[in-house]
Amino acid sequence: MINIHVLNGPNLNLLGRREPEIYGRLTLADIEQLAREKAKSLGASVTFRQSNHEGHLVDWIQEAGAQGAGIVINAGAYTHTSIALRDAISGSGAPTIEIHLSNVHARDSFRHRSLIAPVCLGVICGFGPMSYVLGLEAIHRVMVERTQEAKSSTH
């Protein structure tokens, strides 16, 4: 079974209350439910976590890599500041999709630059909670293709 880690950074625990005009009214628990339903429909397992602490996210990225899992990450503000997350993604070997609820390119200029995007397979932003669903679909497809490639190279 394909394992996907959905990792959430700082302040995402405030979803539903924090700037609902930007982030929507769904809570992180609501989004987790959507992610779990999508993972189930894909036949994948999902580990869903949130932390306001950069070191926890680094540990979880490394854990996902060690398990051979894929990652969907909404790193929140750490997207724009964290070399540690970038290095963890790069070093873990875990295929990673960066996601955001809002369209970061339509917001403050400091949000236009992602330090983690260059080490991710792709970026999905601006689709609200659907960004998570799209991220899960994308990483699942990558993981399936990699599994098929690995099987065909051993035959």
Q: Give me the pLDDT at residue 9, please.
A: 98
Neighbours of 43 (CB within 10 A): 10
Could you tell me the pTM of the whole model? Answer: 0.94
**Nearest CA to 89 among 1, 5, 3?**
5
CA–CA gap between residue 23 and residue 16 (Å, rounded): 7
Residue 100's pLDDT band, with cuts at 50, 70 and 90, is very high
Q: Give me the pLDDT at residue 143, please.
A: 97
Residue 112's pLDDT band, with cuts at 50, 70 and 90, is confident
Binding-site residues from annotation:
74, 80, 87, 101-102, 111
Binding-site residues from annotation for substrate:
74, 80, 87, 101-102, 111
CA–CA gap between residue 12 and residue 99 (Å, rounded): 12
Q: Per-residue pLDDT tens for 48-62?
A: 999 999 999 999 999
CB proximity list for 117: less than 8 A, separation 6 or greater: 79, 98, 123
Judged against a pLDDT cut of 80, whether residue 155 lies above it is answered with: no
Report CA-CA distances (Å) from 1 to 7, 83, 150.
Answer: 19, 31, 15
Mean pLDDT, residues 142-155:
88
Report CA-CA distances (Å) from 78 to 24, 28, 38, 151.
Answer: 20, 18, 26, 36
Residue in the block written with tokens 């490394």: 62
Residue in the block written with tokens 């580990």: 47
Residue 16's pLDDT band, with cuts at 50, 70 and 90, is very high
Question: At the fourth CATH level, which superfamily is domain 3-153?
Answer: Dehydroquinase, class II (3.40.50.9100)
Q: Give me the pLDDT at residue 153, please.
A: 83
Residue 108's pLDDT band, with cuts at 50, 70 and 90, is confident
Q: Phi-psi bin for 3: left (phi > 0), alpha (psi -120 to 50), beta?
A: beta
Residue 97's pLDDT band, with cuts at 50, 70 and 90, is very high
Percent of the chain with pLDDT over 90: 83
**Residue numbers annotated as active site:** 23, 100
Q: Give me the pLDDT at residue 150, please.
A: 87
Q: Give me the pLDDT at residue 10, please.
A: 97
